[in-house]
Amino acid sequence: MKSQLCLLASIFSLCALMAAAGCSDATEQQAAVRPALESLSLREKIAQKLMLDIRYYCADAERPQGGAADTWGIRDCDQAVTQLPPALADVIRRTGVGGIILFADNLQSSAQIVQLNRDLQLAASSSRAGIPLLIGVDQEGGRVNRLPRDEAAAFAGNMAIGATQAVHGERFATATAEVMAEQLSVLGFNVNFAPTLDVNSNPDNPVINVRSYSESPQVVADLGAASVTAFQRKGVAATVKHFPGHGDTSVDSHTGLPRVERSLESARSVDLLPFAEVFERSRPALTMTAHIQYPALDNSTMLSKSGEDVVVPATLSRKILTDLLREKMGYEGVIVTDALDMAGISNYFSADEAVVHTFAAGADIALMPVKIRFPEDLTRLDGVIDRVETAVLEGELALPEIELSTARVLNLKQRFVSTQWMQQDQRAAVADARRLLATPAHRVLASELSTAALTSIFQPLTGQLPIISDSTQTVQVLAPSAAVGAAFKVALSEVTRAKIEVLDPRGAIETISAHAADLLIVASIVPAESAVELGGVEDLARLKAAPKLPLDTLYRIYRQGLQAAREQGGKTVFVSMRSPYEAARFADVADVHLASFDYKAFIDVNREMHGPVYRALASALVSSTLPQGELPVTVRPPVKADGALASGK
């Protein structure tokens, strides 16, 4: 294996004259990697522009009748790829595909991840061109975390960092990005699809919300620039997303095609501002497109596969990707699409046509253009390459643009692919990974962030602090899931001797009405999990099938529980563990309202649920002072005409 990796390194050394910080124009982009570029056939250049997922593969099965490779929500195969199957290694070797994206399903432990990533690079080194892979992952923190939490410290996400900005500035944006980059690098990743630069200006946004730093474009710009700089200083290519801005949407692009109705002036001052500033200050290696319609930036239409004229999505828009992003904003890095199997694209365009359209628009990398789940799918990537090759030969796509785009991808690899990691002895690589991931300071940082981010949404009633005192004998926790309740119970048991009872929402009202505790804590996680948290569109079916109470029912139970506890003289606390906007519904029935922006936990070696956010909450409940975080978004309680708080519904 080592000799093959040395061959890979020698091939890549042909690009040694590339400037370390990137190139300033098209001529330099191509000159920097000319030897490698000229060694590639047209098909190999196209393959370098494709990034495949290998999340699942069922080697000994056929697609169930009625299954569809391109249809979101149909999870035909659920055998996670944790070891590289020979058939998938052959696809990489045969096509010379440029990159792979991995998901949480693929990542079980440091030793397994190192082995998988080395095998992926070995397969790439065995292709005719021998060019190494971009290996990427969505490691945003918070909602979107792919590394195993029991081994790698996980951090609260962007909105939690936004809540610390007023007191701590860019400290946590920088520190968490540095640690995540170190974690990824030692495991063999070279691309992180983070940070998110969307400005969360729409409280009803189902897919961005706490993945955004703030509703303030300037705060997003400042923290995003710090994050990008830290990632790339530590050797991992950062990806800013989702251009031109997914924050003012109320539709998840995994399930539909969102539309942003802003004026051009508003687009410039809100959605585009963070991207423009981060481009100038931090030079992000990649920018990811958004599957959204943005008529103020491009109101042209294109024919969908159903024959309908639709406003062109940003991912397929030349006006947005080339005229705006490249020419007006001067972006010189790599443009990567969001996953092309998401409904925002796949509902309207076939896989082959989507790839051709996005390359024509100016994208450099098509992410997840096809699914390979069964042996019958093994030639599907070849079909995409065939279609793009035909488009070039027939003039539908311009060959000079394809070559310049491929040069950008090769430049990116020259900057961020570590041949040193690939040539390292495997036992040493595993030992390094285990040692780095076990660094105690990482978990200390995670705890510090959770504590600094914790925010009091409204001013609590006089005399309520500390919430838990020496006289508190009983505490009830109304939790949306058993896991959240278990994590709360472990954390609270560390700070109080009070008896702690976890309530399931389905029987909570009866229990509280019969015997209310000294304190009722209602923990809420809204909006519910979306596909991006679990991994992708294939999880939508699982999310839909999961037994859960309707949101209106859950909110009714929360309100009635808080009211019943108050009527019996108990203290009441509402904890918004994700998007804080929902706290407005309970402003009149809870004594204290806290926002944690995170709820994730992990099972430790003692089989107990732990998470830094729960320890931060427990500490806040026994404190006589308010948490130090400040809301990065506006939460206004409903008000009646007479000025009194209106009851939420």
Q: What is the mean pLDDT of residues 159-166?
A: 98
Q: Which CATH class is domain 454-621?
A: alpha beta
CB distance 94 to 78 below 8 Å: no
For the cut 80, the answer to whether the pLDDT of residue 402 exceeds it is: yes
Q: What is the mean pLDDT of residues 307-323?
A: 97
Q: What is the mean pLDDT of residues 106-127?
A: 98
Distance CA 162, CA 141 (A): 13
Q: How sure is the predictor about 16, in pLDDT bands with cuts at 50, 70 and 90?
A: very low
Topology alike, domains 2-18+25-437 and 454-621: no
Instruction: Tell me how crowded residue 467 is: count the other CB atoms within 10 A of its CB.
Output: 22
Q: How sure is the predictor about 608, in pLDDT bands with cuts at 50, 70 and 90?
A: confident
Instruction: Tell me how crowded residue 283 is: count the other CB atoms within 10 A of its CB.
Output: 17
Q: How sure is the predictor about 532, in pLDDT bands with cuts at 50, 70 and 90?
A: low
Q: Among residues 98, 99, 95, which one has the least CA distance to residue 128? A: 95
Q: What is the pLDDT of residue 251?
A: 73
Q: How sure is the predictor about 530, in pLDDT bands with cuts at 50, 70 and 90?
A: low
Greater confidence, 583 or 65?
583
Which contacts qualify for 205-209: CB closer than 8 Å, 24 or more apart? 205/246, 205/247, 205/248, 205/249, 205/250, 206/250, 206/251, 206/252, 206/527, 206/530, 207/246, 207/249, 207/252, 207/253, 207/254, 207/530, 207/532, 208/246, 208/247, 208/249, 209/159, 209/527, 209/578, 209/579
- Lowest-confidence pick of 147-156, 257-266, 545-554: 545-554
Please identify which residue in the block is written with the tokens 């495949």: 52
Q: How sure is the predictor about 191, in pLDDT bands with cuts at 50, 70 and 90?
A: very high
Q: Can you name the residues that pair with 52 across neighbouring β-strands?
A: 100
For the chain, how far is it from start to end, CA to CA, in angstroms?
A: 63
Distance CA 488, CA 470 (A): 19
Q: What is the pLDDT of residue 649?
A: 46
For the cut 60, the answer to whether the pLDDT of residue 541 exceeds it is: no
For the cut 70, the answer to whether the pLDDT of residue 353 exceeds it is: yes
Q: Among residues 531, 438, 388, which one has the least CA distance to residue 153? A: 438
Q: What is the pLDDT of residue 28?
A: 75
CB distance 590 to 572 below 8 Å: yes
For the cut 60, the answer to whether the pLDDT of residue 641 exceeds it is: no
Distance CA 557, CA 560 (A): 5
Q: What is the pLDDT of residue 22?
A: 41
CB distance 588 to 558 below 8 Å: no
301-323: burial string, b at 16+ Cβ within 10 Å, e else: ebeeeeeeebbbbbbbbbbbbbb
- Lowest-confidence pick of 197-206, 341-350, 354-363, 530-539: 530-539
Percent share of the chain, pLDDT over 90? 80
Q: Where are the domains of the chain?
A: 2-18+25-437, 454-621
pLDDT digits (tens, 9 = 90+) for 236-246: 999 999 999 99
Which CATH number among 3.40.50.300, 2.40.30.10, 3.20.20.300, 3.40.1010.10 corresponds to the domain 2-18+25-437?
3.20.20.300
Cβ-Cβ contacts under 8 Å for 228 (sequence gap 6 or more): 177, 195, 238, 240, 278, 282, 283, 284
Q: How sure is the predictor about 534, in pLDDT bands with cuts at 50, 70 and 90?
A: low
Percent share of the chain, pLDDT over 70? 89
Question: Which helix (DSSP H) or strand (DSSP E) does residue 136 occupy?
Answer: strand 134-137
Q: What is the pLDDT of residue 423?
A: 92
pLDDT digits (tens, 9 = 90+) for 250-268: 777 677 789 999 999 999 9
For the cut 80, the answer to whether the pLDDT of residue 153 exceeds it is: yes
Q: How sure is the predictor about 121, in pLDDT bands with cuts at 50, 70 and 90?
A: very high
pLDDT digits (tens, 9 = 90+) for 552-567: 999 999 999 999 999 9
Average pLDDT over all residues of the chain: 90
Instruction: Tell me how crowded residue 355 is: count the other CB atoms within 10 A of its CB.
Output: 26
Distance CA 366, CA 389 (A): 14
Return the half-sphere exposure (C-beta side, CA atoms, 13 A cut-off) of residue 615: 17
Q: What is the pLDDT of residue 250?
A: 76
Distance CA 290, CA 312 (A): 12
Query: Is the pTM above the cut of 0.85?
Result: yes
- Lowest-confidence pick of 73-77, 131-135, 393-397: 73-77
Q: How sure is the predictor about 69, in pLDDT bands with cuts at 50, 70 and 90?
A: very low
Backbone angles phi, psi at 425, to 5 degrees: -55, 135
Q: What is the mean pLDDT of residues 39-63?
A: 96
Instruction: Tell me how crowded residue 17 is: count the other CB atoms within 10 A of its CB.
Output: 11
> Catalytic amino acids?
338
Distance CA 193, CA 256 (A): 21
Greater confidence, 533 or 336?
336
Please identify which residue in the block is written with the tokens 């808080």: 562
Report how far apart, in Å, the C-alpha atoms of 165 and of each of 64, 335, 420, 611 are: 50, 29, 37, 22
CB distance 529 to 545 below 8 Å: no
DSSP state at residue 468: S
Q: What is the pLDDT of residue 408?
A: 97
| CA torsion through residues 452, 456, 460, 466, sign | negative
